[in-house]
Amino acid sequence: MEKKTKKIFVNSISLLLFFLVIGVLLWQTQGHIFFLFNFGYIGIAAATGELLFAILPKEKKVIGRKISQLLIGLYMLGVLGFLGHENMQIEGFFLYLLAGIFSGPVLHFLIAKIGGTLLFGRGWCSWACWTPMVLDFLPWMKPKHGRLKYWGIIRYLHFIIALTLVLILWYGLQIENFDKYTFYKFNWRMLLFGNLLYYAVAIFLSSILKDNRAFCKYVCPIPVLMKIGSRFSLWKIEIDKDGCIKCGLCEKNCPMNIKLLSYMKNNQRVLSTECIGCQQCINICPENIIRYTKKLDVGFKECLNFKNENSAQTIKIQKL
Ligand code: SF4
Ligand code: SF4
Ligand code: SF4
């Protein structure tokens, strides 16, 4: 077997094994075989996406990512959420923590959105989340403008509002006294209402800002948690400085408006906690010098392209 092909299969099988190990551990410690089924399914979905991404030609690689996103997103939202009555939103996570219930949403947040970020950064955001599962079908994968300065603060306000709302519901409405059935029904309604609202806001923002990821950049509260671990993420984007022809395509096509070349100039990997690991930059680079590598590093400076700074940035790219 050719070395490259072997590596592709090893990566996909490693991903599957990673999830299977979690499934077996939870099955053995929690006593429910459902965990094995759940993480086995997620592992198969992620490994299939990864495999397709690796073997498809450059212009079709995005299909692999979208398949993973659809398989995992539909399962989490449709099967666990709507059929299983688990509220996978951040409000559900807070409620289950208050209720002391160590199940669906708590496990999901601990594994995918907190612990997993130490390995894969914000990979969840491009390979599994059910919100961009819809948004990524909109036509503005490449944002029309740079980021809107200061709008990112909305996500922190949203985080505080979500937490406050849950605390009011818990202590004010005394949800703690609900029986199990009413508690799950209440959570299910929150999931339904919350998701409809999220989708509506996300599609509206994407359309007016001509940017598929506008909701992710400004409104979603989950990166408040994810950004902590993703600073230390093992896997990150790296550019081979020597081969760069400064065409700027990687930056122009980055859905999160990251200044990849600033990191390259500083001999760093892309340390931004805004990187969602979509690997769009890898696909677009004409010199094939961008890779997804694993190392230990950390950085606290966010290098992002903001609106009205793009023309200045283009000039800087020529000078790098
Ligand atoms: S920022 Fe929020 S909505 Fe966007 S992909 Fe990440 S978790 Fe999903
Ligand atoms: S730096 Fe690359 S992998 Fe990260 S968000 Fe931008 S295009 Fe995606
Ligand atoms: S796309 Fe590749 S060659 Fe072009 S600026 Fe980015 S890293 Fe350099």
Q: Rounded CA gap, 306 and 291, in Å?
A: 25
Domain boundary at 54, 85, 116, which? 85
What separation in Å is there between the alpha carbon of 126 and the centre of ligand 2?
A: 10
Whether 315 is in a domain gets the answer yes
Mean pLDDT computed over 257-277? 97
Q: Which of 153-157, 261-265, 309-313 has the lowest mean pLDDT?
A: 309-313
pLDDT at position 279, please?
A: 94
- Check if 239 has its Cβ closer than 6 Å to any atom of ligand 2: no
Whether 204 is in a domain gets the answer no
Whether 287 is in a domain gets the answer yes
- Check if 73 has its Cβ closer than 6 Å to any atom of ligand 1: no
CATH of the domain at 247: 3.30.70.20
pLDDT at position 182, please?
A: 75
Beta-carbon contacts of residue 47 (< 8 Å; ≥ 6 apart): 12, 13, 15, 16
pLDDT above 70 covers what percent of the chain?
A: 93
> Cα separations (Å) of 94 from 86, 87, 209, 306?
13, 10, 31, 33
pLDDT at position 315, please?
A: 40
Whether 281 is in a domain gets the answer yes
pTM (whole model) above 0.85: yes
- Check if 190 has its Cβ closer than 6 Å to any atom of ligand 1: no
Q: How many domains does the chain have?
A: 2
Whether 216 is in a domain gets the answer no
Structural domain containing residue 17: 1-85
pLDDT at position 319, please?
A: 43
- Check if 277 has its Cβ closer than 6 Å to any atom of ligand 2: yes
pLDDT band at 158 (very low <50, low <70, confident <90, very high): very high
Ligand nearest to the CA of 227: 1
Whether 178 is in a domain gets the answer no
Whether 288 is in a domain gets the answer yes
pLDDT band at 185 (very low <50, low <70, confident <90, very high): confident
Domain boundary at 38, 70, 85, which? 85
Residue nearest to atom 8 of ligand 3 (CA): 244
Mean pLDDT computed over 103-125? 92
Whether 195 is in a domain gets the answer no
Domain boundary at 24, 56, 85, which? 85
Q: Using one digit for the tens of pLDDT, what is the confidence trace for 166-176?
A: 898 888 777 66
